[in-house]
A and B are shown apart, each in its own frame.
Chain A
Amino acid sequence: MTSKIKRGVSLYSFQEELFLCQMNVEDCVSFATSIGANGIEILPEQNMPTFPHLSDAQVEEWKAMLARHGAHFTAYDMFLDTKVRKDRPMTDDEQVESIRRDLVLCNRLGIRNMRVLVFVRPDILGRCVPYAEELDVHMGVEVHAPWHLEHAWILRTIDEADRLGTKHLGILPDMGIFMKHYPPAFRARFERQGARPEIAQFIVDSHEAKIMSEYTIYEVAVKMGGNKAEVAMAETLRHAPYANPRRIGDYAPYFRHIQAKFYEMNADCTDPSIAYDEVIPELVKCGWEGTLSSEYEGNRWIQDVMEVDSREQVRRQHVMFERLIAQAEARFGAASAA
């Protein structure tokens, strides 16, 4: 049986190598297809140096490059510079115009999913829906930690989509919302910065017990007299939610793409932090169709002590995806085949 879940990579994953000019965008695409991750998510403001100006020839070069490697575009990550001016925020009309500019470029590239930054207002997106429908681009608001699937702010976008009865507005979950265990890479860096092992252990234990972050922050900062690294580590708990994977099916109709965030993979191709072993069965069970798009964000946690190897990290994540998808299909085969 073939899964409806497709695998892909966001070029965000290779930010270390791209920044240092150790890889170019074609290297990223070539690597992605070598591990069967044929769906490519781009950040035009990262990957296209002439953004927002892109000639028809440049658009064709991108399409030809992907075709050369047997890859295809999956998603376009937009940004909205509401603070472009120092003297005043963007007006609503200016925001709509900026989003429309991205929808047009997304459509020119032949991309049908646009990742919308989580802070964009639902009513602004509502005004953009006619353009999104005309250009056939799904606007997915990024559900990024510390927001989560059922956060009131996210529900406003879903309400707006329902009110308009549109299929072109919804969400785009970032798997960082399913942080079941505190990432060892975070802990290790804070310890290198001076966090004492016993305080670090207290923070990890508090996260493991799902104690609300403000209790732990106060304990560390005030009662334990935490140093700068320890307080900073405790404060990361504010952005480390573990949302309930069992609610995924309820929201699946509203998303077509997933940013598969991760911070590190173990050598045995398991994720020590994000609960993919719980998320992927839920996706298979509800018959979700879309792309799991790797978003490696571990470089910033290890670059002080070691060379970053984003390719190896992404490769391991895809070994895990293949394993978890196959296991879930064996278990929920009927639903997946339906």
Chain B
Amino acid sequence: MFDKYIIDPATLRNTGPADAPTGFAFESKLGYYRGLGLSMIEELNVSIDGEALPREAVRFDEGQGPISLDEMESAYDRRWPFGTPATIIVARDGGFPKGEHTLGLVQKLRVSYLPFPSFNTDEKQVTFA
């Protein structure tokens, strides 16, 4: 319902030393009409030009401190509120590649009243200097 809005491409930046980035980060909103506990966010699949980055490379921070996807599974006291940006942090030597590329994100949610998992998918073309 909000797929096309879940990546905010203007927030893409590298992390780590400027001359030797260790990863990148960007802001994302939860593509759902309500907030959700972090334990129900099963996957945050980040890709560059269609190539998925490893699950272990991804961390999430809604403001309470970075957390891995494994740790999110039992983070019962943390929520990603509706319409609120959170930071997705990805470990990648060299940071985000320079030039024009496609940044992809798939949010896989465990929504209790749905018989199947819910997927929110977005891709944004970014030119990174």
Contacts and interface: CB of A to CB of B under 8 A. Distances in A.
Given A119-B113, A304-B4, A46 B40 contact: no
Interface of B: 1-2, 4-5, 29, 33-35, 37, 39-40, 42, 73, 76, 79, 81-84, 110-113
Contact of B110 (A19, A46, A83): A83
Contacts of B113: 79-80, 117-119
Contacts of B1: 15, 299-300
Contacts of A85: 39, 76
Interface in A5-25: 12, 15, 18-21
Contacts of B73: 86
Contacts of A304: 4
Contacts of A117: 113
Which has the most chain B C-beta neighbours within 10 Å: A20, A84, A299?
A: A84
A83 B2 CA distance: 22
A21 B4 contact: no
Contact of B35 (A15, A49, A83, A86): A49
Interface in A67-105: 79-86
A86 B113 CA distance: 15
Nearest to B111: A83
Interface in A36-92: 43, 45-47, 49, 51, 79-86
A34 interface: no
Contact of A21 (B76, B83, B110, B112): B83
A193 interface: no
A118 B2 CA distance: 23
A303 interface: yes
B34 A80 contact: no
Given A12-B33, A118-B113, A46 B82 contact: yes
